[in-house]
Homo-oligomer: A and B are copies of this chain.
Amino acid sequence: MKPRPSFAAAFKGKRVLITGGLGFIGSNLARRLVGLGAKVTILDSLIPEYGGNRRNVHGIEGKLTIHLADVRDRHCLPEFLRGQHFLFNLAGQTSHMDSMTDPETDLDINCRAQLTLLEACRQHNPKLRVVFASTRQIYGRPDYLPVDEQHPLRPVDVNGINKLAGEQYHLLYSQVHGVPSTVLRLTNTIGPRMRVKDARQTFVGVWLKQILEGQPIAVWGGEQLRDFTFVDDAVEAFLLAATHPDAIGGVFNLGGIGQISLRELAATLVAVAGTGSFQVRAFPSARKKIDIGDYYSDGRLIAATLGWQPRTTIKQALTKTLAYYRRELAHYL
């Protein structure tokens, strides 16, 4: 593998806005960018059901600017955007189930706010370099595996439909209005600072909490294949996407290192933790309707174009994540 760029030249002294910056991936990105000498501003609404958590910026609070604001509040956006060099656009409603019970909130955040934000970019800072966090959910149930970027787009829940519109707005504003944007389609991302109090962000969060609280892990289904990206690898992909000239206007899957069944994943987590157990249970019917079956990504395009590959194995990822929550769990409940 090629050594990764240091990114210091690209980001030192640069102004970077991160929407959803108190969230899981946003805060890990913020920490990395602060380390690179960037002037980081975070915009986060801290909605209790979402990923934002003040603990995520513990220790670097003095080195960045935090605005508690919501991307739906259009009137603030121009002021946030002016003068920025980079926008990492990660604010989103992420729960598939919540999108089905409250579809309009999902639409407000994942469609309307994205369009408003891009309009504000076009009007107030059209050369801002934008990276948008999209999701594998837009593919729906795979026709084939691994799923590449040419796979049909048939989202199976409101969240997937709205995230698809969100990424298409970004590509359109890049293509038609020249706001240079890149879309990353994330698969399951795990690591320190993810939400663990429930499954709204990732079921792996709940599993970790169950392990640490001495409860058996509840595995729904069990045989579904998934792939996972460790958050540090995902952060690397965001930095590359923001700086690589060939990334502009592009859409890239972030693949994980290989695929694994949920049952195997649970067994690995128990093994890594040296404690705990898991129980396989039948899918609840409301969730079954929007389940996508097996999924794993084809990551060849981003490897060929931007030189990005995940480096962290599932075992390493789980080990690091467990170590973090062994220390920090109380701040995430």
Contacts and interface: CB of A to CB of B under 8 A. Distances in A.
A158 B169 contact: yes
Contacts of A176: 100, 156-157, 289-290
A225 to B, nearest CB: 23
Contact of A103 (B104, B115, B158, B161): B115
A135 to B, nearest CB: 15
Interface in A65-82: none
A112 B106 CA distance: 11
Contact of A107 (B104, B111, B156, B158): B111
Given A119-B104, A150-B152, A153-B153, A111 B172 contact: no
Contact of A164 (B103, B165, B175, B290): B165
Q: How large is the interface on A (under 10, 10 to 19, 20 to 34, 35 or more residues)?
A: 20 to 34
A92 interface: no
Contact of A158 (B153, B157, B172): B172
Contacts of A154: 168
Contact of A161 (B119, B156, B172): B172
Given A168-B161, A169-B158, A289-B176, A104 B100 contact: no
Contact of A172 (B115, B152, B157, B175): B157
B111 A104 contact: no
A162 B153 CA distance: 15
A312 interface: no
A205 interface: no
B104 A112 contact: yes
A246 B146 CA distance: 32
A104 to B, nearest CB: 6
A299 interface: no
A155 interface: yes
Contacts of A116: 104
What are the nearest 4 A-B pairs in CB distance? A161-B168, A165-B165, A176-B289, A161-B165
Given A164-B164, A164-B165, 6 more contacts: A103-B115, A107-B112, A111-B111, A156-B175, A165-B165, A175-B289
Interface of A: 100, 103-104, 107, 111-112, 115-116, 119, 150, 152-158, 161-162, 164-165, 168-169, 172, 175-176, 289-290
5 contacts: A103-B115, A103-B169, A153-B153, A158-B172, A161-B172
